[in-house]
Amino acid sequence: MNKPVPDPPLESNTPLEEAMRAEDLARNREAIKRALDYYLCPNPSRPRPSTMYMVTPNVDTESLLANACESLASASTIASNFANELSGSQRSTALGIQQIIMLAELAVNRALDRVDPRA
């Protein structure tokens, strides 16, 4: 049995019709993407900055370095006391951590000397 109309019908589009069809397809794709993004990937709310441990922006460099130096000295003492209660490789690890803290403390002290030379 022959059909009078092919399934799907043969199309003989002009270049202008093809360009319009391609433009419609592109617009449809953009609309579909926007709709899917709106429902499936909503913009996450911006995280509020935490002020719990905030350093005041107008604090001078000398005060920041002095505070860092004191914190590093405390951490060095804590690591040293902790290392005294350990033995073997754990003690070596704790002493290595204490040494790294001490080197950081020396670097902060040098920076503090450059900010406010006492000589």
pLDDT tens readout for residues 50-98: 777 777 888 888 888 999 999 999 999 999 999 999 999 999 999 999 9
pLDDT digit string, tens, across residues 35-62: 888 888 777 666 777 777 777 888 888 8
Q: Yes or no: say if 71 and 104 are a contact pair by the CB < 8 Å rule.
A: no
Give the count of domains, the chain: 2
Shared domain check, 110 and 71: yes
Full domain range(s) for residue 76: 61-115
Q: Yes or no: say if 86 and 94 are a contact pair by the CB < 8 Å rule.
A: yes
Cis peptide before 8 (omega within 30 of 0): yes
pLDDT value at residue 6: 63
Instruction: Report residue 31 CA to chain centroid gap.
Output: 31
Shared domain check, 95 and 65: yes
pLDDT value at residue 118: 58
Instruction: Report residue 110 CA to chain centroid gap.
Output: 30
